[in-house]
Amino acid sequence: MTAILHHIAYKIISIFVSIAMLLGFTVPGFKADDSNWNTNYPYVFVHGLSGWGSYDAVYKLMPYWGMFGGDLMGYLNDKGFEVYAASVAGNTSAWDRACELYAQLTGTVVDYGEAHSARCNHARFGEDFTGRALIPAFDSEHKINILGHSFGGATVRLFASIMEQGSAEEQAATTDGSLSDFFKGGKGDYIYSLTALAAPHNGTTAYNIGETPDAAEPTEEEKEQLQEKKGVLDSMMDSVLGAVVDERISEDYAAFDMYIDNALALNETIMTLPDTYYFSIPCSAVTQNEDGTWSPNNKVEFIYRDSCAAMGVYTGVTKGGYVIDESWQQNDGLVNTISAKAPFGAPQKDYEEGNVQTGIWNIMPVHDGDHMALQGGLLKTGDIKDLYVDLLSMINSLG
């Protein structure tokens, strides 16, 4: 199934890079109504698997956030929000991505930890962000709101947990005084809110199934649109994806964290911060059949039809013995809707306007769209600007 994900990423980026040259990304409009705002902390957006952010050159050609609908970051900034797009590795573990995020937020050298890097067989230190921090300040007085799409959801959840708990393993292993402040903990109050967007909190059955051989073929028009754009990407793929290829162990890749058994194990290590607001937006791009299974609807990009159709009928048992029942069949083409609602076992409830509490997952209504809908869509473009203006305005009104 990893091959399918890479295939999807390839198709996505090949469309993005070329179409960016044809579109403008400044969308004028009115300023958001800030009359009921109580805060306006910066918003940091973290991309998903094979994604990119503002530190990556390709972002100037095609923003991950907004896509066909235009640069979402620029739009939200124009509306009075302070927003940033982080850049983390496209295919490594949630741990490594969280470490990279911390370095970008603090303007420091990436430190993956003495214990982690030794166990996972890769270098302890990474890129140096000294003098080029993503945000002006980051502490308990200068909090952030953090959002993660897809595997970015796992990244920001682990990041927040380490900010609060630190890492006992790294503390024990680092005896020379070089322990990163990230692993010391005690900084959970730096994070005002956390929002997960179509995130596989509990893993995805996309890794449990193969392609569906009789899935609908793309139309000739869809094939032609993609073919026209494919050549632009061929010479850029390695630099765009920034794929990590080294001798690290398999457990230190995103694919490992997204298997259901491994995602559930990761959840056991992640705490829900008691003073942070939590939100999730699950997606669904399927229609329920008479027999209770689910089939792709017209919101699904053709690159997701195979996985969407297969996930919509799949039941089974994981290698670890977890039973995947019919409740997992509703999906967005890559992530099961039930998995995107909240981590199993974490405090959670459906979102209620005027009744939002910290330390509990507030599950927003299921968004009608496939896995890329909350970015803006591919061939099926959707306008998500109002969704984010409403979401960020609601968060600013809390407290």
Determine contact, residues 273/188, Cβ cutoff 8 Å.
yes
Residue 213 reports pLDDT greater than 70: no
Average of pLDDT values for 267-276? 98
Residue 320 reports pLDDT greater than 90: yes
Q: 31-52 pLDDT, tens per residue? A: 788 889 999 999 999 999 989 9
Neighbour tally for 168: CB within 10 Å = 11
Rg (CA), the chain: 20
The pTM for the full model equals: 0.87
Portion of the chain with pLDDT greater than 70, in percent: 83
Question: Taken in order 22, 26, 32, 34, is the CA torsion positive or negative?
Answer: positive
Determine contact, residues 182/169, Cβ cutoff 8 Å.
no
Residue 304 reports pLDDT greater than 60: yes
DSSP string, 258-290: HSHHHHHHHHTT----TTSEEEEE-EE-EEE-T
Residue 20 reports pLDDT greater than 90: no
Residues 6+ apart with CB under 8 A from 2: 207, 255
Domain of residue 219 covers 2-396
CATH of the domain at 252: 3.40.50.1820
**Domains in the chain, number:** 1
